[in-house]
Chains A and B, each alone.
Chain A
């Protein structure tokens, strides 16, 4: 136990200890959470200050010849930094000076437990240790989802089933991986920490099984299609904090972390084109399917949650492309996505908190009432849509470029580029709708008195929105140079062609200011009201109000899309429902086929025995002469036998 009291162990233990205290002591649990995140963050920053290579590993007992360490390298260090950053901001966001709801211990306790376990996953050197923490996560996230209003159980149960099935796949993949590495004669079961670790080609069946199982679990964690269905469900019941913490940031960070380790450090995904194409297709389908669903949502949180799915597609596309550029892009996109998606969820949560609404029909015109929230939301929305020079653009740009590079020799890779770009357009479209419906347009009467949220609610999103700008403008100088390149132990990442974010930003700024100038000079800011008539009747302002939620309703009516939506809304893409249906059918069939027939057979045997018993009982009449007859018969037979026996001798 004592050896865990080093920085690498403490960043797991501090959140867990705080979680235990948070159950018991109600008044201080929100202080505890923020303090724990700060303390943990301090140790993580120290890793970077002291140098990642200098952190002493904690040696844990060997199991089955697999060595277990708690250790940091650049990749896990970068993600640890992000996890702690998000944990701090999100706990700050949920901070209240007065006591919160009675059951908010669920959020703080399970949130802290999840935080500690996530740190554990990132510190694990071996696959066994990784699975240990990964398994704990399943349960802590399950508990976390129980905090909220409405039908929390369904979302939690969906999450548990989908991720639980994936966890056992992961376990299987990891065990096969240990056996495979033993066979290959390298240090078994390590996640690239061991010196002399080399990347394996995906040719051996063992390697393919291990890769596919682990990758499937990693992508499920990240929330890729079709294992994503719990996320929109959770968006209905869980508070914004939970959504920003789990599906938007932590799940993505962990899932993509494992996927990067798998594709970049352990296996060489480009060595098997079939496997690569399968995962690229999953990525492309994830982007498009989720963004189509997002387009027609009428609830802000649900819409955001579909984007939390769709953006995973880009990360998968980038990482599964297998080029350094693509993996860097995927990693960077994961980082960016966690930042802007958390911002979006938190600002969405702020709006919901102030108005009590997340239904887009009932929102509108809040830009003036909540200026800081609007600003953060707008920046994040532009970033997720990939508008240059924000961070979302840079990472997508890197991913696209990796496909351009691949497409030079094998042109069919360009399909994925097109899918990604198309998805990006639709993302922008759906965010136009969302921004319009929430912040622009006319403000409904019911929302007259709405005002800005308090400091703890506007500061975290604002900070993250500013990070979006900074990571966009200085993408190649800051995050890519100091975080991503060392994580991939690649030399400095340079994109193809020439792209200077600063120059681009300057041009954009000039154009925008020109436009603003024309707006001022031309006097268009003073609207001239005109009366509008329809069928000789004057329309009131109410009737002229254009509501955002139906921007893209017409898409639904296009023939193929109509079928798609009908399918999706009927739950046909919901793996959870398939699992349930399948298990019902399986159970019924087995019961009828095996259980019932075995029982029938047992009944038959029993009936038969009864019959035999009855037959014998007929022989017992109770009358003396009858028994005497039997005895005589017996003696006769004996005598006959003796005579024959004697005759023989």
Chain B
């Protein structure tokens, strides 16, 4: 029994419950308490990193092989978890400077944020269908509350739209899970390893994944939800919540079941179409947070592409690497543009301009994240993106004809070009061109430094690329 792992999942939940009490007395206390919880989680995660192979643990046995663990760690999940916890840490620190003093709903905010952390980590380490579903829905409910955090009529209706669409997906996914459970007589993914995915179950589960990870046509909740949420929440939504679907995809379609080439082609085509559509729309949007939201949809395709590649080419890490890179970079972008929105009060990129003179630190932070999303060297996004595209070009077993492989690869290149165009448009119209900003704008140093720190992790990732890749590839 791995107590550290159990604690890793339990601590955020306990923290989330307990944060309610100090919050009654002092605003500062609940923030400190949340921060301590996340720090504790980070510590527990680090303990999981060091040392040799870690056993998992089981809570209660219902069905299937009794000796299989319900929760376990692997290098891939640990690295993803580390990125998530880092983002959370920055987000909690950022929230302190972001919200105006004396916001009444703060207790709920911190509590739900910690619940969200716990459910994400739980989902990340779970091998059991029931727990996967459970944590998936806890995350969905916290998302719903936090998207609608402002509690205006409009925002509430957006939050409702979010939960309805994702719940539609997860209800279908539950049906898929049920089919699997009846077919295999087990809840545990370990009992189903390397068997063929039943088609019907696969379609249902994929619907749930696509709804959560915003693939066409189920992405429509995302461009509304991201701008509506408070900026630190947008960062978590885009950096983590969207990735939940991808993690389940990784667990089901990559690590457990084998699928036919037809599946992979269908998935690749769908994500490329979704990526191109979202990238195209991002080119004309005017709201900076909406552009970032569409950008998330378009970048998710690369992660899917990378995960498809892993099924064919053992040791390929592009998908996971891009998941991490996108989580950190998009987090930094949402937090960075969140500062802009908070300070200027404007979200339309035509109404703000030339902020580089006022926000130099923020400028550097956002710039690094932007370049990483575009996929320029030497940032982490570059290595991940190039790995994904190369992997797709080399999918000989999935697509035997070279012409079609080239077309698929070119789809990703086209999507990268769109990424370059809309990211540059956003970046240059907010920071470099346009009208002079109004007088009296001062850089919130605290927030800007946090954004910069998060961005620097992208450079750190590429400096430590070699050991990182070796670690990821070593443990499958």
Contacts and interface: CB of A to CB of B under 8 A. Distances in A.
A and B together in one complex: yes
Interface of A: 61, 64, 128, 131-133, 135-136, 138-139, 153-154, 157, 160-161, 164-165, 168-169, 171-172, 175-176, 178-179, 205-206, 209, 579, 583-584, 586-591, 594-595, 598-599, 602, 606
Contacts of A176: 393, 406, 409
B40 interface: no
Contacts of A594: 216, 277, 281
B22 interface: no
Nearest to B433: A153
A168 B377 contact: no
A164 B284 contact: no
A179 B432 CA distance: 40
Contacts of B216: 594, 598
Interface of B: 161, 164-165, 216-217, 220, 223, 277, 280-285, 371, 374, 376-378, 382, 386, 389-390, 393-394, 402-403, 406, 409-410, 413, 416-418, 420-421, 424, 428, 432-433, 466
A599 B220 CA distance: 7
A160 B424 contact: yes
B390 A175 contact: yes
Closest 6 CB pairs of A and B: A587-B284, A587-B283, A135-B377, A590-B280, A583-B283, A586-B280
Contact of A157 (B223, B382, B424): B424
Contacts of B371: 139
29 contacts: A131-B377, A132-B382, A139-B376, A153-B428, A157-B424, A157-B428, A161-B424, A164-B417, A168-B416, A168-B417, A169-B413, A171-B389, A171-B413, A171-B416, A175-B386, A175-B389, A176-B393, A579-B421, A583-B283, A583-B418, A586-B283, A587-B281, A587-B282, A587-B283, A590-B281, A591-B281, A594-B216, A595-B277, A602-B165
Contacts of A206: 402, 406
Contacts of B377: 131-133, 135-136
A138 B376 contact: yes
A503 to B, nearest CB: 52
Contacts of A165: 417, 420
A168 B393 contact: no
Contacts of B418: 583
A135 B382 contact: yes
Contacts of A179: 393-394
Nearest to B423: A164
A590 B433 CA distance: 27
Nearest to A593: B277
A172 B389 contact: yes
B409 A588 contact: no
A64 B285 CA distance: 38
B58 to A, nearest CB: 39
A599 B221 CA distance: 9
B335 to A, nearest CB: 22
B409 A595 contact: no
Nearest to A165: B417
A223 B161 CA distance: 49
A209 B406 contact: yes
B280 to A, nearest CB: 4
A22 to B, nearest CB: 17
A67 to B, nearest CB: 16
Contacts, number: 106
B281 A595 contact: yes
Residue with the highest number of chain B CB atoms closer than 10 Å, among A139, A584, A599: A139
Contacts of B382: 132, 135
A172 B283 CA distance: 22
A589 B161 CA distance: 24
A169 B432 CA distance: 26
A169 B409 CA distance: 11
Contacts of A588: 284
A207 to B, nearest CB: 11
Nearest to A134: B377
A640 to B, nearest CB: 32
B370 to A, nearest CB: 10
B420 A161 contact: yes
A606 B424 contact: no
Given A164-B420, A172-B413, A598-B217, A584 B284 contact: yes
A206 B404 CA distance: 11
A590 B219 CA distance: 14
Contacts of A138: 376
B420 A584 contact: no
A583 B423 CA distance: 13
A192 B376 CA distance: 25
B244 to A, nearest CB: 21
Residue with the highest number of chain B CB atoms closer than 10 Å, among A132, A165, A594: A594
B402 A205 contact: yes
A139 B428 CA distance: 13
Contacts of B284: 583-584, 587-588, 591
B121 to A, nearest CB: 31
Nearest to A182: B394
Given A169-B413, A175-B386, A587-B283, 14 more contacts: A136-B377, A153-B428, A153-B432, A164-B424, A165-B417, A168-B417, A171-B413, A171-B416, A172-B410, A175-B390, A176-B409, A587-B280, A589-B280, A598-B216
A590 B406 contact: no
Given A132-B377, A135-B376, A175 B409 contact: yes
Contacts of B277: 590, 594-595
Nearest to B396: A179
A303 B220 CA distance: 51
B108 to A, nearest CB: 26
Contacts of A128: 386
Contacts of A157: 424, 428, 432-433
A172 B386 CA distance: 9
A313 to B, nearest CB: 26
Nearest to A590: B280
Contacts of B413: 168-169, 171-172
A415 B391 CA distance: 44
B392 to A, nearest CB: 9
Nearest to A128: B386
A61 B466 contact: yes
A587 B282 CA distance: 7
A210 B331 CA distance: 35
B393 A175 contact: yes
A598 B432 CA distance: 35
A106 to B, nearest CB: 12
Residue with the highest number of chain B CB atoms closer than 10 Å, among A583, A584, A588: A583
A583 B280 contact: yes
A160 B370 CA distance: 13
Residue with the highest number of chain B CB atoms closer than 10 Å, among A128, A153, A172: A172
Nearest to B466: A61
Given A583-B283, A602-B161, A171 B386 contact: yes
A584 B390 contact: no
Contacts of B386: 128, 131, 171, 175
B196 to A, nearest CB: 29
Contacts of A132: 377-378, 382
A64 B281 CA distance: 35
